[in-house]
Amino acid sequence: MSAADSTLGELPSKPAASTIDPHAQTVEQLLDGQSAWDKRLIHWSNWLNPILVKETRQALKSKQFVWTFGLLIVIVLAWSLLGLLSSIPNIYYASDGRGLLNGYLLILVVPAWLIIPQASFRSMASELDDGTFETLSLSMLRPRHIILGKLNVAALQLIIYMSVIAPCIALTYLLRGVTLETILFELIVVVITTLALSMIAIAFASFSRSRALQIVFSLVLILLQLITTFTLCSLLTAVAWQGVGFGSFEDNRASWIALGVSAFFVGLYMWVLFACSAALIGVSSANTSTPIRIPLMVAGWLIAMVGVAMAIWVDIEAAGFFLMLLGVHWAIAGAFIVGERGFISTRAKRTLPDGIFSRLFGSWFIPGPGTGYVFVVLSCLGGSIALMISPLMTSERLWDYWFAMVWFAIAINLYIAFYLGIGRLGAWLFFRRMKSGRMFTTAVFIVVLNALAILATCTLSLMSSNYSRMDYEWFCFPNPWWTLAEIIPYRYRNTNNLEELAVFCLGVVTLPIFLLNLFLSAKDIVIQRIETPDRVMAEHGKKNRAESTEQSEEIIDPLA
């Protein structure tokens, strides 16, 4: 047998290392998933929210997304061709980018402000209808992971829709008449509004535990979407045609400051809604009050701090405006807090504060309507004191305005203590046996009391003048809107004796109500903390060790 025949059937010899193309080897490793970067990407993908992965797969395969995405491409293409053809021959020397930009933004807000929030609402409502939260509660996912995953899906859909219009928006800049500042400003408005509406939709779906409530919240969401769309579309149109600051540097800066403050407060209340939604879908025996009261307290203090800064550096009258915002914030939050159930489960008692200082400052975060009432009153009072001091820190130091501000702040705090105190007592007397819907019923009860007070005071005022006119009198103090409108502070204004008498009468009526609620809240404060049993601590230790072991294996194995 020849030498050539003897080599038949043998494997070819491996080429030398110097003859291997390193680029070809890298490409082969990437295709096979064996490169170091590929392993790192696989490992990093494990940190993604599982709800995001599941919802993204379902959303991208749904007919709603396919039809919306396809129609968006067709409409954008048609508007581009129509805008370009109608601009010829002026396109060479005219500034025609503003009209095209306005059209693209109005096209974008349809999926962003109408379709994405409704998809988020239906996605969250379907989880409640199918009862999948019970299954998810057995997994390692926490309620906040579920809510965050739903919100991330809405953000991802917005990114996909914006990717279709992004090249066209860049075209408007090339057609002149539009600045990069204008484009950036309007896109930020669209993103912030979309995320806010999606968070509201998720919160509404979390609140609706029945089909009837789902229908009600769905209609409310649609109404809110339409109001937001028609209101902000006018803003987008004005900015597209006239620019961010209408040509001056000061207006540009004011517009960006207004956008930053708006985005700040939108993000703040998104955090509040996030905490409320996570508490509603969580375990019923857990401490759900403290995670909600913390963002509410932070929001109240930030409202006060922004008001102080605006009063010192912008205008002294901003203190009165932010004081009204602070009162509205705590009035709405307190109307629901005082309707909480007084029951504290054994699991929640394990999270109660322990120690002198922790019980001194943390007792008002304990679940219960009594502690919630005192928490709201003290929080509103603290923010009001900060806003009352701010006029004295300005260079103007208008003493007349400061005195009017003091009376205005006293009236707001007294009204909050008065109506929330009556609401808490009413819930304790009439809604004690309600197991569900007690918070909403208490809020409605407070609104009805407010409406009756307005009707009664207006009737008495007409009767006192023989039905000839309606003048403010001292007995109109139960009417918060009329009284606050009479004593609202502004420059060079003093309160008169009639208004001071009305506030004094309000304080006399509010004091016994506050003391009675403070006495009834003592039973919630004296509740002692229960230590976690050794068996539960051992189970948590085993669970944590198992999680750490799994994470270490995931880290070591892909990079091996």
pLDDT per residue over 106-117, tens digit each?
999 999 999 999
Distances (CA, A) of 355 to 344, 348, 351, 352, 527: 19, 17, 13, 10, 13
Cα pseudo-dihedral 122, 125, 129, 132, rounded to 10: 100
What is the phi-psi region of residue 472: left when phi exceeds 0, alpha when psi lies from -120 to 50, beta otherwise? beta
Write the pLDDT tens digit of every residue in 468-486: 788 888 888 899 988 888 8
Region 283-308 average pLDDT:
84
E strand map for 60-205:
none
Look at residue 142 in the predicted model and tell me its pLDDT.
75
Distances (CA, A) of 27 to 20, 30, 35, 354, 486: 12, 5, 9, 60, 76
| Confidence at residue 343, expressed as pLDDT on a 0 to 100 scale | 60
Task: For 68-107, give one letter per residue: b (16+ CB within 10 A) or e.
Answer: bbeebeebbeebbeebeeebeeeeeeeebbbbbbbbbbeb
Of the candidates 302, 323, 477, the residue with the CA atom closest to the CA atom of residue 405: 323
What's the whole-number mean pLDDT along residues 458-472? 85
| Weakest-pLDDT range from 34-43, 270-279, 380-389 | 34-43
**Cα–Cα distance measured from residue 70 to residue 408, given in angstroms and rounded to the nearest whole number:** 56
**If you average pLDDT over every residue of the chain, what do you get?**
79
| DSSP notation for 334-375 | HHHHTTS-S---HHHHTTS--SHHHHHHHGGGSSSHHHHHHH
- For the chain, give the number of residues: 560
Tens digit of each residue's pLDDT (9 = 90 or more) over 312-359: 887 788 888 899 999 999 999 999 998 887 666 656 566 666 655 556
The reported pLDDT for the residue numbered 34 is 59
Residue 6 has what pLDDT? 46
Token pair 């005219």 in the structure block, residue: 94
Burial class (CB in 10 A: 0-12, 13-18, 19+), 431: middle
Q: How confident is the model at residue 223 (pLDDT cuts 50, 70, 90)?
A: very high
Q: Based on the number of CB atoms within 10 Å of its own CB, is 255 exposed (0-12), middle (13-18) or buried (19 or more)?
A: middle
Beta strand ranges found along 416-530 (DSSP E): none
Question: How would residue 2 be classed by pLDDT, with cut points 50, 70 and 90?
Answer: very low
pLDDT for residue 466 is more than 50: yes
For residue range 253-290, what is the model confidence (pLDDT) as tens digits? Answer: 788 888 888 999 999 999 999 988 888 776 665 677 88
When pLDDT is averaged across residues 377-390 and rounded to a whole number, the result is 91
What amino acid occupies position 15? P
pTM of the model: 0.79
Cβ-in-10-Å burial (0-12, 13-18, 19+) of 384 comes to buried
Residue identified by tokens 């005192």 is 374
Question: What is the Cα–Cα distance from 35 to 156, expressed in whole angstroms?
Answer: 28
Model pLDDT, residue 108? 92
pLDDT for the residue 290: 80
pLDDT at 240: 85
Burial (Cβ within 10 Å: 0-12, 13-18, ≥19) of residue 403: middle
Confidence of residue 227 (pLDDT cuts 50, 70, 90): very high
- The pLDDT value recorded for residue 3 is 47
Region label for 496, one of left (φ > 0), alpha (ψ between -120 and 50) or beta (otherwise)? beta
Question: Is the predicted pLDDT of residue 37 greater than 70, yes or no?
Answer: no
Dump pLDDT digits (tens) for 137-194: 555 667 788 888 888 889 989 999 999 888 888 888 888 778 888 889 999 999 999 9
Q: How confident is the model at residue 199 (pLDDT cuts 50, 70, 90)?
A: very high
Three-class SS of residue 297? helix
Whether residue 8 is predicted with pLDDT greater than 50 in this model: the reply is no
pLDDT at 554: 39
**Position 418 pLDDT exceeds 90:** yes
Q: CA nearest 218: which of 200, 234, 230, 233?
A: 200
